[in-house]
Amino acid sequence: MNRREFIKGAILTAAFLSSGQALAYNDEEEKSGELAEQDLLRLQNREDPSVAEQKHVPAIEAPAQVRKGRWFDVKVKVGFMREHPSNPDHWITFIKLLANGQEIAKTEFPVGGVSASSATFRIRLERTSKIEAIENCNLHGTWISDPVTLTV
């Protein structure tokens, strides 16, 4: 590594750490496995989303109506307007699926962006439920989707 690359890396690292986004959640949340509602980033304006929102707010693809107790697929893709990058510097660490606020499925991704930023979960419901997806980007924090109601 030459001196210029080292200095550039040091500056970028310092900027990243000082941004306050270095950790998606604090130690207490990590220990409990819970994320505080106020720590979740949300879409602020659907009519004029920022570039970060376009690439980070999860999109849920699921049938509007399902049969009670029957398995069906729910696909979550990160980035409701643009696909989230997946490379060695910028990737998704996990995607969770919630039903009525309770985690029902989760997938974790390896470090380094070797996996696409999407997941398909095979689930079943016993009652009409509000489904939400949460994802964590290693650089830009933890984002939650708009809720989707699935009628049973």
Between CA 10 and CA 20, with CA 14 as vertex, the angle to 5 degrees is 155
Q: Looking at residue 19, what is its pLDDT?
A: 41
Q: Looking at residue 100, what is its pLDDT?
A: 98
pTM exceeds 0.85: no
Mean pLDDT by 10 residues, the chain (152 residues): 53 44 39 66 95 97 97 98 95 98 97 95 98 98 97 97
Following DSSP, what letter does each residue of 51-115 receive, concatenated?
HHHHHHSEEEE--SB--TT--EEEEEEE-SSSPPP-BTTB-EEEEEEEETTEEEEEEE--TTS-S
Q: Looking at residue 29, what is its pLDDT?
A: 43
Q: Looking at residue 20, what is its pLDDT?
A: 41
Token representation of residue 11: 């500056």
Burial class (CB in 10 A: 0-12, 13-18, 19+), 87: exposed
Bin 140: left if φ > 0, else alpha if -120 < ψ < 50, else beta: alpha
Instruction: Name the DSSP class of 133.
Output: E
Q: Looking at residue 7, what is its pLDDT?
A: 53
Per-domain boundaries in the chain: 24-150
What CATH code is assigned to 24-150? 2.60.40.730
